[in-house]
C-alpha cells in the first residue's frame, strides 16, 4: 500500500521534471520573450534580453514609453506599426514628423526602454525613404535617431544627461555618433576630461541608402571607474570606439557635491527616436528588428513571430 502511494506521488513529479527538461524548455534562442516575438534560432551567440519586431501590432508593451517629449502638443507626429516596408515578418514600426515649423512636441517623438543593463549592445534596422532627399535645408539642422541615455538632476532642480546617440547632419549630409554630456543652463558643468562631448563623424549619407534598410548598433558599458566604454557600428563598420572613460555620473565627485539624483532609473536606458530641430524637413523612417543583447548582435539578426 505504501509503495503504491509513493508511485502516485513520484510518477507525476517525474513527468513534470521531464517536461521541464524537454528540448523546447532548453532552447534559449527560440524562447518567447516579452515583446511577443521569437528570436530567430540561427543565431547561436546573441544573448538577447529585449527585442521588438512590431509583429504584435502594438507599441506598448514592450516599449515602456512612446510619444512626444517633454512638453507641447503632439498633433502631427506619430509612431505606429505599419506594413509598408518590412524587414522581417509582416510589420515594422513607422515614425513620422511633419514639415517645418514643428511644435516642440512634434519634434520630440521617441520610444523608450528603461529596463536595461549596466552594459549591453543595441542593434536595429531603419528603412530610409525619399524624405531624406529634401534639399531646402536651413542652417544648423539635425535629427537624432536614438541611442542610450541617462538623465539626472542636481539639488537645485537643473537637469543633466549623458548619452551615446546617433544623429544625421542635414547641412553636411552625414551620419554621426556622439558621446555627450548635456547640462541645463544654471546647472553645473561636469569638470572632467572624461565628461566632454566627442563626435564620431562618418562619410555615410542617408540619401545614398534610399529604398534600403540600414543597420545601427552601439554598445555602452556603464561604469563609475575608467572601465567605462561606448562603441558604435553603421552597417557593420565600427565608427566609434571610446574606452577608459567614467560613463556613470556617480563616478564623479560632482555627483555628491551637487546632490544629484537619477530621473527614471540608474541604468543607461534605450531611447529610439526622431528628435530634430523645429526647422528640419518632413521625415519618415521605418524600424524593424530592434535587439538589446549582452553580446554583439550579428548584423543579420531578425525578429519575427
**Piece in contact with Ca ion (CB under 5 A), picked from 67-75, 88-96, 152-160, 218-226:** 88-96
State which residue, 102 or 302, has the beta carbon closest to Ca ion. Answer: 302
State which residue, 220 or 291, has the beta carbon closest to Ca ion. Answer: 291
Q: Are 249 and 259 in contact (CB under 8 A)?
A: no
**Piece in contact with Ca ion (CB under 5 A), picked from 6-14, 52-60, 113-121, 251-259:** 52-60
Distance of CA 41 to the CA centre of its chain: 22
Q: Are 111 and 132 in contact (CB under 8 A)?
A: no
**Piece in contact with Ca ion (CB under 5 A), picked from 46-54, 57-65, 71-79, 227-235:** 46-54
**For residue 267, what is the DSSP state?**
S
Residue 53 as a binder of Ca ion (CB under 5 A): the answer is yes
Torsion over CA of 302, 303, 304 and 305, rounded to 10 degrees? 140
DSSP 18-61: HHHTSHHHH-GGG-B-TTS-EE-TT-SS--EEEEE-STTS-STT
Would you give the binding string for Ca ion spanning residues 54-73, x where CB under 5 A is met?
Answer: x-------------------
Residue 89 as a binder of Ca ion (CB under 5 A): the answer is yes
State which residue, 54 or 267, has the beta carbon closest to Ca ion. Answer: 54
State which residue, 53 or 146, has the beta carbon closest to Ca ion. Answer: 53
Q: Are 82 and 127 in contact (CB under 8 A)?
A: no
| Grid cell 519586431 in the structure block, residue | 53
Name the grid cell of 304. 519575427
CB atoms within 10 A of CB 298: 19
Residue 105 as a binder of Ca ion (CB under 5 A): the answer is no
**Piece in contact with Ca ion (CB under 5 A), picked from 47-55, 104-112, 230-238, 246-254:** 47-55
Taking the complex as a whole, the smallest distance from the CB of residue 190 to Ca ion amounts, in Å, to 39
Residues numbered 272 to 291 that lie near Ca ion (CB under 5 A) are 288
**For residue 9, what is the DSSP state?**
H
Instruction: Rule CB under 5 A: choose which of 35, 88, 247, 273 binds Ca ion.
Output: 88
Where along the sequence are the contacts to Ca ion (CB under 5 A)?
Answer: 53-54, 88-89, 288
Amino acid at each position: 500500500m505504501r509503495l503504491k502511494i509513493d508511485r502516485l506521488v513520484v510518477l507525476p513529479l517525474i513527468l513534470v521534471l521531464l517536461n521541464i527538461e524537454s528540448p523546447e524548455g532548453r532552447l534559449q534562442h527560440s524562447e518567447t520573450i516579452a515583446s511577443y516575438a521569437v528570436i530567430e534560432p540561427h543565431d547561436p551567440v546573441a544573448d538577447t534580453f529585449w527585442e521588438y519586431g512590431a509583429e504584435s501590432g502594438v507599441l506598448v508593451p514592450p516599449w515602456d514609453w512612446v510619444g512626444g517629449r517633454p512638453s507641447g502638443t503632439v498633433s502631427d507626429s506619430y509612431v505606429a506599426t505599419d506594413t509598408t516596408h518590412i524587414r522581417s515578418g509582416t510589420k515594422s514600426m513607422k515614425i513620422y514628423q511633419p514639415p517645418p515649423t514643428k511644435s516642440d512636441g512634434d519634434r520630440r517623438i521617441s520610444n523608450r526602454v528603461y529596463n536595461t543593463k549596466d552594459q549591453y549592445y543595441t542593434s536595429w534596422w531603419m528603412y530610409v525613404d525619399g524624405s531624406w532627399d529634401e534639399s531646402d535645408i536651413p542652417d544648423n539642422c539635425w535629427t537624432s535617431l536614438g541611442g542610450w541615455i541617462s538623465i539626472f538632476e542636481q539639488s537645485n532642480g537643473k537637469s543633466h544627461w549623458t548619452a551615446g546617440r546617433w544623429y544625421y547632419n542635414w547641412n553636411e549630409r552625414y551620419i554621426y555618433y556622439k558621446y555627450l554630456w548635456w547640462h541645463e543652463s544654471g546647472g553645473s558643468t561636469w569638470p572632467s576630461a572624461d565628461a566632454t562631448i566627442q563626435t564620431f563623424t562618418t562619410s555615410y549619407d542617408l540619401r545614398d541608402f534610399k529604398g534600403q534598410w540600414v543597420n545601427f548598433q552601439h554598445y555602452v558599458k556603464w561604469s563609475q571607474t575608467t572601465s567605462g566604454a561606448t562603441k558604435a557600428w553603421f552597417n557593420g563598420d565600427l565608427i566609434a570606439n571610446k574606452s577608459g572613460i567614467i560613463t556613470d555620473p556617480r563616478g564623479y565627485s560632482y555627483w555628491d557635491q551637487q546632490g544629484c539624483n537619477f530621473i527614471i532609473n540608474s541604468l543607461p536606458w534605450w531611447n529610439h527616436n526622431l528628435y530634430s530641430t523645429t526647422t528640419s524637413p518632413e521625415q519618415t523612417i521605418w524600424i524593424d528588428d530592434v535587439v538589446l543583447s549582452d553580446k554583439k548582435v550579428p548584423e543579420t539578426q531578425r525578429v519575427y513571430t
